[in-house]
Structure formats: C-alpha cells, structure tokens
Structure 1
C-alpha cells in the first residue's frame, strides 16, 4: 500500500468535506472537554477526601444553659467536664485518641467570629450561647463510633458529633455532580461517534465513482477504507487536542488562578495532575474516530 497515495486521498477528502470536518472537530472538542471536566472533578474529590477526612474531628458538645433538653437540664458542671476529660484519657479510649483539646465559651466565640467574619449573624451571637466542647482527633477517623459509645450519655454531655458525616453529605453532592458530568460526556461521545460515522458515509457516497474505479482496478477494501479512517482520525485528533488544551486551561486559569487564590486552605488539582488526563482524552478521541469510521466505511462497502 502506497502511503503517499493514501495520505493524498485523506487530505482530498478533508478538503472536500471541510464543513463536516469542522463539525467533527467541534463535537469531539465539546464531548471530550466534558470527559476532562468529569475526570478533574474525580481527582479533586479524591484529593479533598484525603485532605479533609484526615482533619475531621469528633466534637463532644457539653450542656449549655442557653439550650436545655432532657439530657441537659442545666449547664455542664466543672466536675462533669473533668469526668469527660478523664474518660477521653482512660486506657480503653486513649488508644483510639490521637489528641484532644477543650474549647470554652470564650474560645468558641473567638473561633466563631473568625469563621463567620463579615456575616451579620455573628453580631447577635454571645459567648454564653455557644457550647463548650472537647475536640477529638483520632488515630483512625473510621473509629469515631468508639468515642460516641464511650462518651454519649455521660452527665453534662449534650451530643457527640462526627464531622465526617457532614463531609459525607458534601462529597455525595460532589459525586452526583461528577456522575452527571460523566453521563453528559458519555452522551456527547455517542453523538460524536454517530456524527463521525455519518460524515464518513457521506464522504464515501460523494466519492462513489472513485471507489468504483478502484474496485475495478483491483484495489483491496483495506486500501479503500484507510483514507476514510484517516479523515475521521485526523479531524477527531484536532478536537481531542483542543479538549486537552481546554482542560489544562480550566486548571491553570480557573482552578489555580481563581479558586486557589480565593480558598488558600484547600488543596486543588494542579497542572501536573491535570496533564495525566491529556493522553486519556487524545487516546479516547483517536480510538473513537477510528472505530466509528471503520464501522461506517465497512458497512458502506458491503452495500
């Protein structure tokens, strides 16, 4: 098979069907950009889970006069606070506890003001409204049930809360968004495959006389198919490269340029991590185009 002739036929086909080539480029670009965004979201979710789950604490909230209930008829006394501290330091529990600290009303108020700085609600909060609490760091965050079983029900204890439960709800929302993006990307890839297939069939139909002549002179199906497959692959390759560039651009200018500047306490996806997605996008685009074009031209030649 003469490579120069095959490439010449592919180039001729790209020139003849320029508008359809542009449509392949665009639909491949859009669909693979969705794939890139979905991949970035999964990378970000995994990174945030590792970062925040390690920092997640168990909060032992003590009774407060401001909010009374059946478990807390009055504020926790000094002896009850000391009993909770002793329980956290006891042998059965200590093996699970990495460290813990006590937060009194004033310290809770200071932290609250920092967290809600600029929020008008903070102006109406006073130290006595906020619960005193023990903040517990665990050696294994998955063992939070041990603390709950050991401390819940003790006199002066209002509630034992695991921050991981709140994080699970947040990550559930993020995972749903990621799955939605992946679903849209899958639908767009199906549309891209159908468009590539249709474009190749139309290209073959427009050159049916040439195909007939090649068959008469004994050209094999492989020789006839190859230029059409190359047309689809080259057009899709351009779209894949654009999608990869868009993915890198999202990380560079939006995630690192905007989000990282606004939220310095969170580790966001970096360029080096995003680069891992690039060969996946390009490979997916090339394979998608090659398979779609091969199926389309093979079915056309059998007709």
Structure 2
C-alpha cells in the first residue's frame, strides 16, 4: 500500500468525522462509557483478587484441644499439621494464654468479668495454624477433625466463600453490562458509517466507475471507525484514572480493613492498552458490519 493512499485514507476519515460531528461524538461517548465500565470491572476484579490473595496469606484457623488431651497427642497433632503442604506456621496457645488474651481484650472490665476463671478456666488450648492459601483449610480439616484430643476446629471459610461469591457476582454483572454497551457501541459506530456511506453514494459510484477497488473504498470507513474507537478508549482511560485516583486517595483506611489497593499507575500501564485494543476492535467490527450490510461495493 502506497504512502499517498494511506494519507488519503486518513484524511478522508478525518473529513468524514468532521462532517458527522453529532454522530461521531455520540459514538465516541458510547465507546468511552463501554470501556469505562470495562475498566471498573477490571480494577474491581484485580483488587478483589489481590484482596483474596492477601486474605489467603493471612488466613488462620484454630484447632481446639479437649481438656484431657495428652502431650503425646499434642505432639502427634502438630506433626500432622506440619506435614500438610501449604501450612506456614503452627503455634500453640495454652488455656492460660487464651485467658490472658481475653483479659487484654476486655481492658478495664477484665477484673470483674474474668474473676474466678483462673481456678476454673473455660477456655480451651489450641493450635493456631497459618496457611499459604485458603484451599489448604479443607485439607487440614479433613486431616485432623477426627484426631485424638481435638475438640473442634474454627476456620475462616465463611469469609472466603463470601468473597468468592462477591467476585462471581461482579463478574456476572460486569459481563452483562459490558455486552450491552458493546452492542450499543457497534450500533452507533455502524450508523455513523452508514450515514457517511449514504451521503457519499454518488462519489463512491464515480470511484468505482474509474476503477477504484472495493478495499480502496472500504479503508477510509474502517479507519474512521477505528479512530472513533481509539478516541473513546483514550477518553475513558483519562476519566477512569481520575475517578480511581480520587477513590484511592479519599477512601478511609478503615474501609479497606487492612487490605491495600493497586496504584493508579496500573491504569496507565495496563488498562490503557486494553482500552486501545478494545476501541480498535469495536471501531473495526462496527465499520465492517455496517459496510457489509449497507455498502454495495
């Protein structure tokens, strides 16, 4: 393809965008809205996945002892726990330590509320087990639930299940919203190209008459669609980065519950390229679909 032809295609596409300003602006706005939703979904999923990883690295579970457990049974239980792949650390907490921890949590009320508990301590001893990933919890439960000296097991599976359910909900809602906006974007870009084709029907006929090939006629319209898609992608990146930066800077640390969010630089390093590719795809497909249906060349 010659340079003069490429230059002609781009100039023709720019002229067409200027001629149909209203529809072009509507197309860009719809693409930007679509990709903004995609960006929100992407950032939400990345942060949720990061939170799950952080939760997994902090997950602890308690294996409580029966009062009559022997030292031999404790040793055997610890050995079983240590041998499970994914277990980071196993620490013992005696009945006395458990009582002291409760006193610390009660602060000034400890004396009144724990009076007499030293002689009849109701708190069981336990092993605190730290794991690398939440999936290990099921393995641990299966391995020690029926072990001698084990009273009960407390774990954080309910929290993990809720986070997983939230992740799945975000995926479903996001996917449906994204598909709807993709269809609307394709429709608007297709209409923009269709109107351009109709307004230039006579010119296209003359071009064919003098020997212009089908693709020579098609390329300006494809480039026009791609331009609209890319402009929408860039605009959505700018808006997303501003909104996300405000969210990260204004969100109270208490609301994050100890979790950290990814930095706004992620938008410019990763999301922008997703947007440019998606915008190019939307523009190209919208143009091609429109021409196949309405441009008889």
Q: Please indicate the TM-score interval, normalised by the length of the shorter structure.
A: 0.7 to 0.9
Equivalent residues of 1:25, 1:236 under 8 A apart: yes
Matched, 1:167 2:177: no
Aligned to 1:219: 212
Equivalent residues of 1:34, 1:182 under 8 A apart: no
Aligned to 2:241: 248
The structure-2 alpha-carbon separation of the partners of 1:279 and 1:81, relative to structure 1 and needing over 3 Å to count, comes to: farther
- Distance in 2 (CA, whole Å) between partners of 1:2 and 1:138 is 62
Equivalent runs, 1:1-303 vs 2, <5 Å: 2-61=5-64, 77=67, 79-80=68-69, 85-89=74-78, 91-96=79-84, 98-102=89-93, 104-108=98-102, 110-111=104-105, 132=124, 133-138=126-131, 142-145=135-138, 147-149=140-142, 151-152=144-145, 159-258=152-251, 262-263=255-256, 265-274=258-267, 275-302=269-296
TM-score norm. by structure 2 comes to 0.79
The structure-2 alpha-carbon separation of the partners of 1:84 and 1:44, relative to structure 1 and needing over 3 Å to count, comes to: farther
Equivalent residues of 2:28, 2:232 under 8 A apart: yes
Q: CA RMSD in A?
A: 3.3
19-28 vs 156-165, greater mean Cα deviation = 156-165
Equivalent residues of 2:16, 2:224 under 8 A apart: yes
TM-score norm. by structure 1 comes to 0.77
* Aligned partner of residue 14 in structure 1, secondary structure: helix
- Once the two structures are superposed, residues 161-213 of structure 1 have per-residue CA deviations (whole angstroms, 9 ceiling, x without a partner) of 22134212222223212331122112211211121112211111122222222
- Distance in 1 (CA, whole Å) between partners of 2:37 and 2:153 is 41
Unaligned stretches of 5+ residues in structure 2 = none
The structure-2 alpha-carbon separation of the partners of 1:150 and 1:8, relative to structure 1 and needing over 3 Å to count, comes to: closer
- Distance in 2 (CA, whole Å) between partners of 1:230 and 1:140 is 48
CA drift of 1:52 comes to 1.0
The structure-2 alpha-carbon separation of the partners of 1:286 and 1:145, relative to structure 1 and needing over 3 Å to count, comes to: closer
Unaligned stretches of 5+ residues in structure 1 = 63-75, 115-121
- Distance in 1 (CA, whole Å) between partners of 2:131 and 2:236 is 43
* Aligned partner of residue 163 in structure 2, secondary structure: helix
52-61 vs 233-242, greater mean Cα deviation = 52-61
Equivalent residues of 1:84, 1:151 under 8 A apart: no
- Give the number of equivalent residue pairs: 278
CA drift of 1:271 comes to 2.5
131-140 vs 160-169, greater mean Cα deviation = 131-140
- Distance in 1 (CA, whole Å) between partners of 2:195 and 2:271 is 33
- Distance in 1 (CA, whole Å) between partners of 2:212 and 2:37 is 41
Equivalent residues of 2:45, 2:170 under 8 A apart: no
* Aligned partner of residue 269 in structure 1, secondary structure: coil
CA drift of 1:18 comes to 0.5
* Aligned partner of residue 270 in structure 1, secondary structure: coil
